[in-house]
């Protein structure tokens, strides 16, 4: 009907310029070092905890770059589309004597959906995906999505990793698509129609990345273990012979 009058204005923001106050990150932990990869946005990486079993990092730049809003108020034809697709890549080098055995990523997201009223009501739509790739011969990849939501909830990614003790890349990306079409009000005198406001949004916060780590046994440790197993086996053999 009158919906054909809506001419969405598309704003595509490929956010590869980095957030304010960010710089190429370099982080040292007890189990590994992390370096921002050349050609990707500068970003902030903070160490929240560093223990013998795990290291937890906060990634506020990913939260900032994945937050967006589509507002139909000033859009020609009453409709607008906003798309953002940030990506970050970190080079991770395990320290000698350590290996990385898995990771868990958690991000909190809040949706906004406000559809304007009118004889032809407006509409609002939001969609977000969060994806990862571990760039290593023994790596992994995956993703999770949420769409048409207004509640606050957590998006979670995680995977065991096959004893990574050599350098690898950790690629993290999101894709946010927002559509807001205002409600249509025809002019009774056949003039220009008017539009009510529709808003669609996604807010991300509290992005944390936890790597589980494990010390690699030293060669002398393996020798002690082997000696112990040999002694136990010999004792068991003597017991069977006496029986």
Average pLDDT over residues 86-109: 97
pLDDT at 205 over 90: yes
Residue boundaries of the structural domains of the chain: 2-216
pTM for this predicted structure: 0.79
Positive/negative CA dihedral, 19, 24, 29, 32: positive
Contact 171, 91 (CB under 8 A): no
- Dig out the tokens for 208 from the structure: 């944390």
Higher pLDDT among residues 59 and 8, named by residue: 59
Contact 127, 145 (CB under 8 A): yes
- Residue-wise pLDDT for 123-161, tens only, equals 999 999 999 999 999 999 999 999 999 999 999 999 999
Positive/negative CA dihedral, 184, 185, 188, 191: negative
For position 48, what pLDDT does the model report?
Answer: 98
Q: How far apart are CA 191 and CA 187, in angstroms?
A: 5
For position 191, what pLDDT does the model report?
Answer: 86
For position 6, what pLDDT does the model report?
Answer: 35
Q: How far apart are CA 136 and CA 181, in angstroms?
A: 43
List residues bridging with 159 in a β-sheet. 103
Phi and psi of 110, rounded to 5°? -130, 130
Q: How far apart are CA 99 and CA 97, in angstroms?
A: 7
Which is nearest to 118 in space by CA: 187, 70, 69, 71?
Answer: 187
**pLDDT classification of 242: cutoffs 50, 70, 90:** low
- Residue-wise pLDDT for 44-53, tens only, equals 999 999 999 9
């Amino acid at each position: 009907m009158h919906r054909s009058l809506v001419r969405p204005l598309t704003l595509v923001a490929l956010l590869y310029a980095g957030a304010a106050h960010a710089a190429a990150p370099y982080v040292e932990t007890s189990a590994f070092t992390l370096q921002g990869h050349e050609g990707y946005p500068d970003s902030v990486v903070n160490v929240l905890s560093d223990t013998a079993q795990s290291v937890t990092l906060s990634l506020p730049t990913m939260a900032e770059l994945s937050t967006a809003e589509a507002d139909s108020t000033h859009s020609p034809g009453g409709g607008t589309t906003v798309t953002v697709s940030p990506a970050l890549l970190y080079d991770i080098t395990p320290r000698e004597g350590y290996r990385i055995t898995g990771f868990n990523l958690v991000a909190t997201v809040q949706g906004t959906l406000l559809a304007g009223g009118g004889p032809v009501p407006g509409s609002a739509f939001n969609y977000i995906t969060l994806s990862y790739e571990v760039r290593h011969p023994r790596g992994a990849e995956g993703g999770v999505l949420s769409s048409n939501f207004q509640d606050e909830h957590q998006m979670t990614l995680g995977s065991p990793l096959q004893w990574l003790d050599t350098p690898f890349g950790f690629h993290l990306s999101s894709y946010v698509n927002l559509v807001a079409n205002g409600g249509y009000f025809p002019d009774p005198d056949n003039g220009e129609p008017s539009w009510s406001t529709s808003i669609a949004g996604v807010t991300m916060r509290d992005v944390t990345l936890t790597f589980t780590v494990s010390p690699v046994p030293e060669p002398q440790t393996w020798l002690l273990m082997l000696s112990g197993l040999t002694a136990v086996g010999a004792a068991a053999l003597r017991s069977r012979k006496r029986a």
